[in-house]
Amino acid sequence: MARRHRYVLPNRDRQGAGVTWPVVSCGRGVLVVTLSRLLAVAVLAPALLAQSPVSASRTWEIPALAYGPSMWSILRVTNRASTAQSLRLEVYRENGDRLPIAGTLDLAPRETREIRIDSPAGEEESCWAKVMELSDDAAVEVEASVEILQGNAIESFPRRAKDPSANDVWVTRATEVEGKQVYFLNVFDRPTTLEFCATNRKEQRTCQAQGRIAAARFRVKPNQAIAVQVKKLRQRYFIAESTVPGRAILLLFTDGPGSKRVFSSESSVEFDAPAR
């Protein structure tokens, strides 16, 4: 049976970021987008836009997690080896600030451990996690999910680790992004400016082509995530461009159901005491 640890965030670490983004409508006759409430991506199904990954490592970056009064995230780490393994865990708020959920996890041989990121009394907020294997055995598996309590049912949305991209430009057909949320996570150690625009020219690879101004522009700090709702595109291709190439994860989110567990009056869900 997996060992479970529950991290409950203190009040001072739940305040300040906010989850309701100001609405910024950007028309210019090209596209209409708004900054989205980041928490909404927790209940949507992700699809990875085409991107070139950076060199592989034993580091897992897991985007679009969340926590709140009726919502939490689960990290499940498993040691498949016959020897002990050590991991380093870091969790970041949507605004890029690190949460007080960090440290080294020591796993016994064949051990599975569940880490629950929880905030039962605070505001809902999105976050993301980084897990680093400290040995060279490549024996650890990492899984994650967001769970939402609704009445007597828990709905679970899986979250998979994504390889950051070294790209600075992403181009896709308009039909692929209309009505969806674009999620951008900057895992580089430098801030960047993320720009969105649309074009009818398939060969265009920048929002600044021929002196054109990007339809939307957002400053993104290191370890910060933003989500943008693409409402309408009037041209054939959608471009997302980062002014500082580095390490980023870009996802599309669409409506999709999670897996549900329904509990009777005789059943219960129990967790160990909060980890200190």
Q: How far apart are CA 57 and CA 175, in angstroms?
A: 34
Where, residue-wise, is CATH 2.60.290.11 in the chain?
3-13+55-162
Whether the CB-CB separation of 195 and 163 falls below 8 Å is answered with no
Q: Please tell me the predicted confidence (pLDDT) of residue 197.
A: 86
- Class level of CATH domain 3-13+55-162: mainly beta
In order of 19, 58, 128, 177, the CA distances from 225 in angstroms are 11, 22, 9, 18
Whether the CB-CB separation of 207 and 241 falls below 8 Å is answered with yes
Whether the CB-CB separation of 246 and 166 falls below 8 Å is answered with yes
What is the β-pairing status of strands 3-8 and 181-186?
unpaired
Complete DSSP assignment for 64-128: EEEEBTTEEEEEEEEE-SSS-EEEEEEEEETTSPBPS--EEEEE-TT-EEEEEEE-TTS--EEEE
Q: How far apart are CA 40 and CA 226, in angstroms?
A: 11
Tell me the pLDDT tens digit for each residue of 224-243.
Answer: 999 888 887 888 888 889 98
Residue 265 has pLDDT above 80, yes or no: no
Tell me the pLDDT tens digit for each residue of 135-169.
Answer: 877 889 999 999 988 888 888 888 989 889 888 88
Residue 117 has pLDDT above 60, yes or no: yes
Provide the whole-model pTM.
Answer: 0.76
Regarding predicted confidence, which is higher, 37 or 78? 78
Counting every residue written for the chain, the total comes to 276
Q: How far apart are CA 160 and CA 145, in angstroms?
A: 8
Q: Domain 31-53+163-255 is of which CATH architecture?
A: Sandwich (2.60)
Q: Which residue, among 161, 176, 204, has the nearest Cα to 61 in the 3D structure?
A: 161
Q: What is the identity of the amino acid at 113?
A: R
What average pLDDT does the segment 253-263 reach?
A: 69
112 alpha carbon, distance to own chain's centre: 23
For residue 259, what pLDDT band results from cuts at 50, 70 and 90? Answer: confident
The H or E element spanning position 236 is none
Tell me the pLDDT tens digit for each residue of 165-217.
Answer: 888 888 888 888 888 888 899 999 999 999 888 888 877 778 876 555 557 88
